[in-house]
Amino acid sequence: WHAPIREHATRFSTYLQETLRCIERTNSQPIPAELMKTIIQGTLTFILKIQHTPNLNTIKTL
């Protein structure tokens, strides 16, 4: 994978872990709409990056 994808995955993973801890601390109270928008946008961005990354496993050196 390209470094930007790994970097994005790391940041996104950290963000989701922090979000989960926040939700757990509030005893599963409703999540604010703005927070959900951010989570969904981050998820979609990451999925789209993965979908548009070429499969480097198919490249062989001769």
**What is the maximal distance between C-alpha atoms in the chain?**
57
**Residue 57 forms part of a structural domain:** no
Which ranges constitute the DSSP H helices of the chain? 3-25, 33-51
**Residue 40 forms part of a structural domain:** yes
**Residue 61 forms part of a structural domain:** no
Mean pLDDT over the full length of the chain: 77
Q: How far is CA 4 from the centre of its chain?
A: 12
DSSP state of 16: H
For 22-35, write each residue's pLDDT tens digit.
Answer: 778 888 788 888 88
pTM above 0.75, yes or no: no
**Residue 59 forms part of a structural domain:** no
Total number of domains constituting the chain: 1
Domain span at residue 32?
8-52
**Six token digits for residue 21:** 């801890």
**Residue 31 forms part of a structural domain:** yes
